[in-house]
Amino acid sequence: MFVKICGLSQAEHVATAVGAGADAIGFVMTRSPRRVTPERAAELAAEVPEHVLTVGVFRGEDPETVRAAALASGVRAVQLHGRHPHADFTALKDLGITLIRAVDNQADLRCGAYDEDLLLVDAPHAGSGERWDWGAVRGRASGRWMLAGGLAPGNVREAIEAAAPWGVDVSSGVESAPGVKDSRLIEEFLRSVRG
Ligand SMILES: O=C(O)c1ccccc1N[C@@H]1O[C@H](COP(=O)(O)O)[C@@H](O)[C@H]1O
């Protein structure tokens, strides 16, 4: 199971997530209590080994803004929330990095439908920590897709059973307050997923 820990802003938490076996680490570069600048994301990403995917998270920005932030930060993936047309993914293809399409469960849930490499199926309000009916996507989402939205150490096993995703993604559920990550919860989340 692929695991992404998102919304990191401190080197200590990046090291914890990597040490605990995360497959991907997310840096939010859009309006959010977790926002980091592309320059800060670059500093944090520099500490991440090659085998862990570094992801820049955006919501509604145009492809040129995403491109500039991706290049300045050096992330190896971008995750686009909001109703982006297929053309926005096409416009970013030449970056040669992983493209993640983030949607709610009303969207087209076939990974690759917009030429993206990974699909993320999230709650209607991304990053809110809101739990939703995870089971509603079981058998509807296909390909390499991650489940997000209200996941936490205490419920991630239940979410995996309900939705049968390829991967999981968490932010609020490993925080002690909005934007404040907790190393103990990051480790607990990875232990819960890996069993
Ligand atoms: O985390 C944010 O603040 C955020 C802002 C804008 C777009 C996405 C954001 N977060 C993403 O939301 C999911 C999961 O969130 P949660 O675990 O329910 O808090 C994750 O993919 C984050 O990347």
Task: Tell me the β-bridge partners of 113.
Answer: none
Write out the DSSP string of 36-76: --HHHHHHHHTTS-TTSEEEEEEES--HHHHHHHHHHHT-S
Distance CA 113, CA 115 (A): 6
Given a contact cutoff of 8 angstroms between Cβ atoms, the answer to whether 116 and 99 are in contact is yes
Q: Is the CB of 127 under 6 A from ligand 1?
A: yes
Domains and CATH numbers, the chain: 2-194 (3.20.20.70)
Q: Is the CB of 171 under 6 A from ligand 1?
A: yes
Given a contact cutoff of 8 angstroms between Cβ atoms, the answer to whether 53 and 82 are in contact is no
> Atom 13 of ligand 1 has which residue's CA nearest to it?
127
Task: Tell me the β-bridge partners of 146.
Answer: 120, 167
> Atom 2 of ligand 1 has which residue's CA nearest to it?
127
Distance CA 166, CA 164 (A): 7
Q: Is the CB of 167 under 6 A from ligand 1?
A: no
Give the ipTM of the model, two decimals please: 0.97
Q: Tell me, what's the pLDDT at 126? A: 82
Q: Is the CB of 148 under 6 A from ligand 1?
A: yes
Annotated catalytic residues are: 6, 122
> Atom 1 of ligand 1 has which residue's CA nearest to it?
127
Residue 91 CA to ligand 1 centre (angstroms): 23
Question: From the first residue on, what is the mean pLDDT of each consecutive set of 10 residues in the chain (195 residues)?
Answer: 98 98 98 97 96 97 97 98 96 98 95 97 87 94 97 98 97 96 98 93
Task: Tell me the β-bridge partners of 29.
Answer: none
Q: Tell me, what's the pLDDT at 49? A: 97
Q: What's the pLDDT tens digit per position in 6-63?
A: 999 999 999 999 999 999 999 999 999 999 999 999 999 998 999 999 999 999 999 9
Residue 49 CA to ligand 1 centre (angstroms): 23
Given a contact cutoff of 8 angstroms between Cβ atoms, the answer to whether 140 and 105 are in contact is yes
Q: Is the CB of 56 under 6 A from ligand 1?
A: no
CA angle 160, 97, 33 (to 5 degrees): 60
Residue 126 CA to ligand 1 centre (angstroms): 5
β-pairing, 118-121 with 98-103?
Answer: parallel
Task: Please name the amino acid found at residue 42.
Answer: A
